[in-house]
Structure 1
Amino acid sequence: MRTYKQLIATFVAALAIANLPFAQAQMQPNPGSNHGNKFEQLGTLLSDPNIFRTASGAPGAMYWQQKADYVINVEVDDVNQVLKGSETITYTNNSPDPLSYLWIQLDENEHADNAPNKVFDQSSLRERMSMDQLKAMVPEKKGYGVNIHKVNDGNNKPLKYSINHTMMRIELPTILKPGAKMVLNIDWDYKISDRMVEGGRGGYEYFAKDQNYLYTIAQWFPRMAVYSDFQGWQNKQFTGRGEFALVFGDYKVNITVPADHIVGATGECQNYSQVLSSAQLARWKQAQSSKEPIEVVSLDDAKKAMGQKSTAKKTWVYEAKNVRDFAFVTSRRLVWDAMKVNEGIPGNQPMAMSYYGPEAYPLYRRYSTKAVAHTLKTYSKFSIPYPYPVAISVEAANGMEYPMICFNYGRADEDGTYTEAVKYGMIGVIIHEVGHNFFPMIVNSDERQWTWMDEGLNTFLQYLTEQEWDKDFPSRRGPANKIVDYMKLPKDELEPIMTNSENIVQFGPNAYAKPATALNILRETVMGRELFDYAFKEYARRWEFKHPTPADFFRTMEDASAVDLDWFWRGWFFGTDPVEISLENVTQYRMAGGNPAKAQKERKEAYDNDLNTITRQRNMEENLSFLVEKDTSLLDFYNKWDRFAVKPANEENYQKFYSTLTPKEKDIFDGKIAFYELNFKNNGGLVMPLIIQWTFTDGSKEVDRIPAYIWRKNEGEVTKVFAKNK
């Protein structure tokens, strides 16, 4: 009899054996076979549907999400580069769960001296290295990170809290019941980082020539983390790559800056009459009806402010409804132009605006605001009508997005000229960052978990928008040929699209380009534009101002199109196989035909060809005298018989049969239609439709498209016959 320990050991071993191939079994339901793998349904690779999220991909009858409203007072110290803030958060627990603590995001702690992201990447030495490279390896205390000065409840009573790097847990004195609200009062400050040195999302850029700062203030205030039905608290640390998942709410933000600063922010300014000059206010009103960008703050205004450097202060008041975040730009060295988007967005006429410094003026004055407007209209066509009152593009030598405002690059050379690459790169990044208003600012996916759900979907729509800007737009991501070099890399350099952002080796190709390419192929080849566009719009409509997961996207695309796409998601999003299909062999066949005269003629030609050897040819060329010609007694019936003569009965029978054929049958019978047998081999492993282009002798071309389902019974090799009449 086995002992208790032996039984436990046997059970654990059996459990390990049973679970070892579980992940592979999900990807390979029929391992070892040439079929029954790639076309099986995704099964448990997707989360189970429930009362919160349906099997169709739509929000369920009991779907819920939390709400967080903010009133914030913030001041930017332009002398010491310090941000000071105080906020009141009103948090509403719409979940069915009682909560004993709340999680707050402190993203600015990514710059702290003890931040894990400063040490968790590999490093190595080489024989030749620059001083900057070596300095980066020497720890340095810079004093960055959030300083929390107060965390109180609505009655101003202190609350217990703990900070774990970029996450702060606030312990509640009593349980926050479903449907209840909690008020938090938090005071904090932090040293603003030099974004050009430290990197990151927010910070400042210093312009030594005129001794001014450009502040792009982002991910700057203590923000509520998401508590959701599919994962509870989203408390994955911010390390600089995986961006964020946040709660929708209403904002009122009072921003105090030097009096000669211009502020652009999420939402609408409530006190332009107090912070703008009379001339600027008049130009702002003019922009409300203009079809061309109007300089609210002119280049001359900006240059004048750059030299004066006021020590007085002004407070700009901004409000925003139903947004998931808030960001702003402030500087005295900003030109600001604006125009109304009068058409192309059902039910809305938002303001398109741009803020930029003198060095960006040659590019941004011509292109930026019009690129903003074009993006809003094109994305509205392919997803949902843009719902917000404003969209802003800020030139800040980077690329990052927030509700209604984004930061982009695009500066001219000192002489005002620019390269074509800078021009198209700038337009592309503006389209991309403004497009993020739709994904993920409105269709609010979790960027910490699934980068592709915002970057990939957005890059796909960026490609469509670029192509509607200019038919010759040099798009870098979206076309299939642009992803080949990445997808053919060795498997140990790849990971599936469905990979957490921190674990991706080549971030751009994986999270941006590959999903964008996949969706473009899905639209143009697998589904077709009509089915794809309807389903994609349905996904955006279902999940606007909500929190979707990958399963919701996958299911909606199938639910709204009646196209089974599990094979596509399995290959493109859960796998790393490349597309590599070879044409192994082509064989041509024609029917010999039944016309006796034609058949006999062909037989005679074949017979003569068989006899016509090189010896026979040269004998005849030499006028050789053959014996049967000299002695005719040697000629008998077989020498005189016409073996290829057509018998009248055969001709009559043929004509009777031929008269019963249809025109198509006659073409086949007469050999006018050729049959081509093509053999294909799936070398890469990713099953895809077959696209065959034929070039005929008359110079014309023809394309056949065979669905990917042709591989379902043999995923490695298939044969297909095509009939062509020329």
Structure 2
Amino acid sequence: MLKHYLLAAGFALSVTAPGVAQTTNSGTDKFKQLETELPTPNTYRTASGAPGHDYWQQRADYNIRVKLDDDKQAITGSEDITYTNLSPDVLTYLWVQLDQNILDKNSITTATQVGQVQEKMTFPAMEYLMNSDFDGGFKIESVKMKGGKDLPHVINHTMMRIDLPTPLRPKQNVTFSISWRYNINDQLKINERSGYEFFPEDKNYLYEIAQFYPRMAVYSDFQGWQHKQFLGNGEFALPFGDYKVSITAPADHVVGATGTLQNPDQVLSAAQRKRLASAENASKPVLIVTQQEAERAEQGSKAKSTKTWMFAAKNVRDFAWCSSRKFIWDAMQIKEQGKPVMCMSYYPKEGNPLWGKYSTEVVAHTIKTYSKFTIPYQYPVAISVHGPVGGMEYPMICFNGGRPEKDGTYTADRKYGMISVIIHEVGHNFFPMIVNSDERQWTWMDEGLNTFVQYLTEQEWERDYPSRRGEPKNIVDYMRTDKSLQTPIMTNSESVLQFGNNAYAKPATALNILRETVMGRQLFDYAFKEYATRWAYKHPTPADFFRTMEDASGVDLDWFWRGWFYTTDHTDLSIEGVKWYTVDSKNPEVENAKKRELINAAPKTISQQRNLQDIKKTLVDVKPDLKDFYNNYDPTATTDADRARYQKYYSGLTPAQQQRLNAGVHFYEVELKNNGGLVMPVIVQMTYEDGKQEVVNIPAEIWRKNNEHVTKVFVTEKPVVAFSLDPYLQTADTDLSNNSYPQKAAPSRFELFQQQQQAPLNPMQQQSALQQKEQKPLNNTTGGGSN
């Protein structure tokens, strides 16, 4: 119950005036500008967050030739790299990434992996501690200048320095060649970003191939060479260029890759070319290679001859490909702002029915939705490939998991998990394949931004889609964990403690809160799109993102970046107390009636209740002559003198003052406390006496004079019976128990269970068993239960 105070008319309720702090901050000013933390603007990168008039970036063009050995699961390759120096600097050496060397037995990753021996361990866990006997890593066979002269080079784990015979001056280029080979890892044993899957039933392999060639490192204006070692988490920083890639594979394999196929007449049958052409005007995916054709290929004798598939891609930062005789292949072309985009999927029969039904549709939906929130998709193709595990992204192609059971059934989690991973990996075409941030340093700049737009895309796929990340309520468990188990978002990729929460979920949630609660959709969407437009096909830094979001919206967000990205503070706002004031109208008829109501409503004490039973008569009851004036006096009765005084007072007021006096408004002084350290907007819901509710959104700047404790006065025309904070779970508040006044108990539940001896049937299997019992067929199209 709210405690009621009477506010005497003619006296002001104390309200903090602008510029006057209620109390002083005891800690760091959370609204301090980020100027000292961000790099100084220059002619390359402006204070507005846009590329400067002297912005430059390097270029690397590739001509690659590789051969897949399906008997030994190995790659041999050679490449010609033309590196163009567009910087103002003279370069005497170049750095090349050798990312396959993470699988070398003597890699830094292997040497520094940590673990513990448990009393009970699985075989994979034991093998992890023992390390693999897999002979991985690049075997560099030669590094030569164009013309054949050997180039001096030094391999430092996952990096290789190439010493140039003559300095490479601005606006000059150099062409050199590298030859190499390496063994492909089994993805089910060594879960890296690419590799092969072996299918023992038909003795075939499915290859997802990436990081398969030595790649140029980035040389930039803000850090020089990016030559941080590849340790596993921090992915890739790469320059843009044009690619010509020839892939030689068994003749019965189907190959998909970054870019467009240059020789369809040599590698595709007439029927396949006809089907591919029909996909250009299709409203749903067209099968280029059917499941029946894929099954015949995987069950037939393995081809001894080869085919060479030739692909070309312009203005991309990387290249990846896939190959298998098991592939089903479907395609559907869409138009994105008039530009055709061929959306395609490659998957084995083990992926059906999920993949044939959803994959290419998800690819198309992702391209359209991301284009709406960022920039129009510029590449000619977008491909989803189904492999055994996880998900990984490359320009125009990505590798995705999500496989149904062998009987074709699947859980809702498996379905939505597959759709989500495809959205996420296809979405990476925008971050970082186009908006080309440095993943080796800042994972959140691609994973976090991409996860945020993934959430938007999921919600446009299906009403109330069960998104795993993006909603503030979903990050609460992480935010409330001990700070020793967290790192700020602005932490190098290899030093992050909880990778998924820190690099994916937290930044995605932060952007959702910016869009919905801090900035509003209109301002946010414009600024986010401006960032993508400014930095498409360029190398942005965190400062460029922070500055652009503020510059394009006109919203000071330094407090938000500081709290969410530079600290491990969390949101925990509480209502510490509420005081209720009403104005004393001075009208004796009104005020005396209120007094009588309060007196009558006041409960009798336990002593008074018992005295009524135990004391039959008091002395005054026995001797009435002891009574005097006060025994019959009613302090709430209105006298003529009271009325006269009121009329004299009232007539001395101005009409405006009379109106205020009679308005019957209510003043509520709400005491707010910031327990978690993260300053956030205050969303207050007031529940009125008549049951109606009102929500008031107060900007985070309410904390600018005191980051820890403030009071806010609310003036209402109706009595308020309850206050609550964050009613729609907008701010990731970690403790809802202190969000209400009067305090409400937060409900919780517990579950009783028995130990299960075997995994339960999924809902589709349960329906199948029931229908088999009733001799009815299972409908995979409509079955599967609810979300």
Matches within 5 A, 1:410-421: 410-421=402-413
Shifted more, 615-624 versus 138-147: the winner is: 615-624
Whole-angstrom distance in 2 between the partners of 1:621 and 1:237? 93
Where has structure 1 moved over 6 Å in runs of 4 or more?
604-613, 615-625, 627-632, 634-643
Identity of aligned residues (%): 55
Distance 1:387 1:644, change over 3 A: same
**Correspondence 1:323 to 2:312:** no
Residue 494 of structure 1: how far off its partner (Å): 0.8
**Correspondence 1:49 to 2:44:** no
Whole-angstrom distance in 2 between the partners of 1:311 and 1:180? 45
Provide, for residues 501-541 of structure 1, a one-character-per-residue CA deviation record: whole Å limited to 9, x for no partner. Answer: 11111100000000001110011001111111111101000
Of 651, 659, 664 in structure 2, the residue corresponding to residue 656 of structure 1 is 651
Distance 1:261 1:595, change over 3 A: same
Whole-angstrom distance in 1 between the partners of 2:341 and 2:603? 86
**Correspondence 1:169 to 2:164:** no
3-state DSSP of counterpart to 1:392: strand
Please name the residue that 2:735 is paired with: none
Residue 461 of structure 1: how far off its partner (Å): 0.5
Q: Does the 8 Å CA contact 2:134/2:185 hold for their aligned counterparts?
A: no
**Correspondence 1:646 to 2:640:** yes
Whole-angstrom distance in 1 between the partners of 2:533 and 2:355? 32
Question: Aligned letter for 1:661?
Answer: A
**Correspondence 1:423 to 2:415:** yes
Matches within 5 A, 1:696-711: 696-711=688-703
Q: Does the 8 Å CA contact 1:204/1:216 hold for their aligned counterparts?
A: yes
Q: Does the 8 Å CA contact 1:56/1:559 hold for their aligned counterparts?
A: yes
Q: Does the 8 Å CA contact 2:342/2:381 hold for their aligned counterparts?
A: yes
Q: Normalising by structure 1, what TM-score?
A: 0.90
Distance 1:306 1:589, change over 3 A: same
Distance 1:249 1:617, change over 3 A: same
Please name the residue that 2:331 is paired with: 338
Question: Aligned letter for 2:363?
Answer: V
Of 150, 156, 160 in structure 1, the residue corresponding to residue 148 of structure 2 is 156
Distance 1:132 1:368, change over 3 A: closer
Please name the residue that 2:574 is paired with: 582
Provide, for residues 137-178 of structure 1, a one-character-per-residue CA deviation record: whole Å limited to 9, x for no partner. Answer: 335543211111121112221111111111111000000000
Please name the residue that 1:226 is paired with: 218
Please name the residue that 1:379 is paired with: 370
Of 52, 70, 83 in structure 1, the residue corresponding to residue 62 of structure 2 is 70
Distance 1:401 1:603, change over 3 A: closer
Whole-angstrom distance in 2 between the partners of 1:178 and 1:610? 88
Question: Aligned letter for 1:100?
Answer: T
Q: Does the 8 Å CA contact 2:620/2:626 hold for their aligned counterparts?
A: no
Residue 86 of structure 1: how far off its partner (Å): 1.0
Residue 262 of structure 1: how far off its partner (Å): 0.6
Please name the residue that 2:236 is paired with: 244
Q: Does the 8 Å CA contact 1:35/1:714 hold for their aligned counterparts?
A: no
Whole-angstrom distance in 1 between the partners of 2:529 and 2:484? 36
Question: Aligned letter for 1:371?
Answer: V
Q: Does the 8 Å CA contact 2:25/2:708 hold for their aligned counterparts?
A: no
Please name the residue that 1:389 is paired with: 380
Please name the residue that 1:273 is paired with: 265
**Correspondence 1:522 to 2:517:** no
Provide, for residues 387-406 of structure 1, a one-character-per-residue CA deviation record: whole Å limited to 9, x for no partner. Answer: 11110011112200000000
Please name the residue that 1:304 is paired with: 296
**Correspondence 1:442 to 2:434:** yes
Distance 1:642 1:212, change over 3 A: closer
**Correspondence 1:258 to 2:250:** yes
Residue 635 of structure 1: how far off its partner (Å): 6.8
Question: Aligned letter for 1:90?
Answer: T
Residue 428 of structure 1: how far off its partner (Å): 0.4
Whole-angstrom distance in 2 between the partners of 1:676 and 1:176? 72
Residue 657 of structure 1: how far off its partner (Å): 5.3
Whole-angstrom distance in 1 between the partners of 2:379 and 2:537? 12
How many residue pairs align between the two structures? 689
Residue 426 of structure 1: how far off its partner (Å): 0.3
Residue 637 of structure 1: how far off its partner (Å): 14
Whole-angstrom distance in 2 between the partners of 1:611 and 1:429? 62
Please name the residue that 1:681 is paired with: 673
Question: Aligned letter for 1:319?
Answer: A
Distance 1:650 1:120, change over 3 A: same
Residue 595 of structure 1: how far off its partner (Å): 2.2
Please name the residue that 1:463 is paired with: 455
3-state DSSP of counterpart to 1:316: strand
3-state DSSP of counterpart to 1:183: strand
Shifted more, 114-123 versus 386-395: the winner is: 114-123
Please name the residue that 1:560 is paired with: 552
Of 360, 368, 375 in structure 1, the residue corresponding to residue 351 of structure 2 is 360
Of 129, 148, 162 in structure 2, the residue corresponding to residue 137 of structure 1 is 129
Whole-angstrom distance in 2 between the partners of 1:637 and 1:338? 96
Q: Does the 8 Å CA contact 1:36/1:712 hold for their aligned counterparts?
A: no
Residue 279 of structure 1: how far off its partner (Å): 1.2
Whole-angstrom distance in 2 between the partners of 1:568 and 1:661? 42
Q: Does the 8 Å CA contact 1:219/1:327 hold for their aligned counterparts?
A: yes
Shifted more, 601-610 versus 346-355: the winner is: 601-610
Distance 1:139 1:602, change over 3 A: closer
Question: Aligned letter for 2:217?
Answer: A
Distance 1:315 1:646, change over 3 A: farther
Provide, for residues 71-121 of structure 1, a one-character-per-residue CA deviation record: whole Å limited to 9, x for no partner. Answer: 111110111111111111111000000000001111111111111101202
Whole-angstrom distance in 1 between the partners of 2:216 and 2:499? 27
Structure number with greater CO (CA < 8 Å, separation at least 6) is 2
**Correspondence 1:102 to 2:97:** no
Question: Aligned letter for 1:330?
Answer: S
Provide, for residues 254-311 of structure 1, a one-character-per-residue CA deviation record: whole Å limited to 9, x for no partner. Answer: 1111111111110110111221111111110100111110001111111111112221
Please name the residue that 1:6 is paired with: none
Residue 48 of structure 1: how far off its partner (Å): 0.9
Whole-angstrom distance in 1 between the partners of 2:546 and 2:601? 63
**Correspondence 1:488 to 2:480:** yes
Provide, for residues 601-652 of structure 1, a one-character-per-residue CA deviation record: whole Å limited to 9, x for no partner. Answer: 44566789999995998899979986896699x7799979997313464354
Question: Aligned letter for 1:84?
Answer: T
Provide, for residues 414-460 of structure 1, a one-character-per-residue CA deviation record: whole Å limited to 9, x for no partner. Answer: 11111100000000000000000000000000000000000000000
Q: Does the 8 Å CA contact 2:25/2:705 hold for their aligned counterparts?
A: no
What is the RMSD computed on CA atoms of the aligned residues?
Answer: 2.6
Distance 1:76 1:636, change over 3 A: closer
Question: Aligned letter for 2:639?
Answer: A
Whole-angstrom distance in 2 between the partners of 1:127 and 1:640? 82
3-state DSSP of counterpart to 1:705: strand
Distance 1:621 1:597, change over 3 A: farther
Please name the residue that 2:306 is paired with: 313
Whole-angstrom distance in 2 between the partners of 1:461 and 1:637? 76
Whole-angstrom distance in 1 between the partners of 2:264 and 2:603? 101
Whole-angstrom distance in 2 between the partners of 1:611 and 1:439? 66
Whole-angstrom distance in 2 between the partners of 1:602 and 1:472? 49
Of 118, 123, 134 in structure 1, the residue corresponding to residue 110 of structure 2 is 118
Q: Does the 8 Å CA contact 1:596/1:646 hold for their aligned counterparts?
A: no
Distance 1:529 1:591, change over 3 A: same
Question: Aligned letter for 2:350?
Answer: E
Whole-angstrom distance in 1 between the partners of 2:635 and 2:428? 87
